[in-house]
Amino acid sequence: MRAVAFITLVGLASSLSACTEQSAQAELPFTPKYEGVETRLLDGDLVNFHVAMRGARDATDVDDYARCVAAQYALIRGYGFARHLRTTVNEEGGLWQGDAVYTISPALPRGLKTIDAETVASACAENGIPMV
């Protein structure tokens, strides 16, 4: 019974330590540095975006950057919508890189991960996230 209690206390201490680390990260100011984007038209309405940034809190920040780029790209091409197909995110040495694929279209595409390009681009501008 003592061994079980010890394991439970060790697990609890580890959990509390992780909470403390997350709290410390949450208190730090978010100061991202957007390192740029590379855009590749794959086929007609299928577009690949490679984004890079430093200072991301997690993969969500990289995904947001790619979403902003996709929204602006759709608008530049005269389209009003985009649909997210996939994003992979990697971090190495503080450099976060995202590889995202979207389709762009003039009408709302079918699917769950669609974005209204004007709405998203406006939100990105308000949040200081650069676009294409």
- What pTM does this model have? 0.78
Give whole-number Cα distances, 14 to 9, 24, 65, 93, in Å: 9, 15, 33, 25
Tens digits of per-residue pLDDT, 84-121? 999 999 999 999 999 999 999 999 888 889 999 999 99
Tens digits of per-residue pLDDT, 38-69? 999 999 899 999 999 999 999 999 999 999 99
Other residues' Cβ atoms within 10 Å of the Cβ of residue 102: 28
User: What SS3 state is found at 23?
Assistant: helix
Q: What is the pLDDT of residue 34?
A: 97
CA distance linking residue 83 with residue 85, whole number of Å: 6
Backbone angles phi, psi at 16, to 5 degrees: -65, -40
CA distance linking residue 34 with residue 56, whole number of Å: 9
